[in-house]
Amino acid sequence: MTDDQKKVSPDDEYQFPQDEYASADSGSESQTESDESGSAETVEKKTGFPGFLSHFSALPIFKNKRAWIVIAAVILIIIFIRVLDTGKKTQPISQQSVVSQQQAPVTIQQPDNAVLGSLDALKAHSSRTEAQINELHSQVTSLQNTVSETQSENQQLQQKLVALESQISGISETLQRVITKMPKGKRLVYHLRAVLPDRAWVTSGNGETLTVTVGDRVPEYGVVSSINAEQGIIETSSGRKIQYGPNDY
């Protein structure tokens, strides 16, 4: 029993004071250590890396729950420290990139000669167009003035025409009054001297004799419309009749 205890490594002798089952089973573990080591070697030869893990987990320190808790806490602390270190390293890099982006000089691209030439051509064209627009505007203004003058002249002509119409109406009224006041001449009278069914002979008061048929014109009587030989009457378009006189036989 003493010989087996001398062969145990210092790691196997580490035990927590509160571990109750480790002290009770130390004798049995030392007795079976040689068997387990032999079986572990055969398993490691057969399985490789998994066998190594099983051999590593067979150590007494990894059978203690408190040891696992301590190992897990140490691993978490190491991971937390590494995370803090990486955060400190990345923050200056990002700040440097922002500063470099802010300090990057702005390059102003010079315009091309062709672009400048086209701009000059556009300016010249716009100047010509503006001059043409001004000329058209002046022409429109002159036309408006001409139209205004023509309208005023038309108004004056209309006023003159109204005055002429009033003068003409006054002159016509004056002529009517003069005509009405003129003495009337002696009325011309014709008398029937002889008559046939298609022809008649008439004589005026001043001794003028006419031969008339239907359709002939008689002074101050109009056109002969009919000749009635039985009654001795000649009808005219004026309504006056030519017939035998009181001294005719």
CA geometry: angle 238, 241, 244, nearest 5 deg: 160
- Residue 140 included in any domain: yes
- Residue 206 included in any domain: yes
pLDDT tens across the length of the chain (249 residues):
444 444 444 444 444 444 444 444 444 444 444 444 444 444 444 444 445 445 555 555 556 677 778 788 888 888 888 887 776 555 555 555 554 555 555 566 666 677 777 888 888 888 889 999 999 999 999 999 999 999 999 999 999 999 999 999 889 888 888 877 766 667 788 988 889 888 999 988 888 889 999 999 998 899 999 999 888 899 999 889 998 876 554
- Domain finish residue from 182, 203, 223: 182
- 216 and 233 share a domain? yes
- Residue 160 included in any domain: yes
- 128 and 161 share a domain? yes
**Structural domain containing residue 233:** 190-243
pLDDT computed for residue 56 by the predictor: 52
Q: What's the structural domain count of the chain?
A: 2
- 178 and 194 share a domain? no
- 123 and 167 share a domain? yes
Gap between the Cα atoms of 38 and 27, Å rounded: 18
- Domain finish residue from 156, 182, 208: 182
pLDDT computed for residue 141 by the predictor: 92
User: Phi and psi at residue 208, in whole multiples of 5°?
Assistant: -80, 135
- 169 and 149 share a domain? yes
- Residue 58 included in any domain: no
Gap between the Cα atoms of 239 and 228, Å rounded: 15
pLDDT digits 0-9 by tens, 188-222? 889 888 898 889 999 888 888 899 999 999 988 99
- 177 and 200 share a domain? no
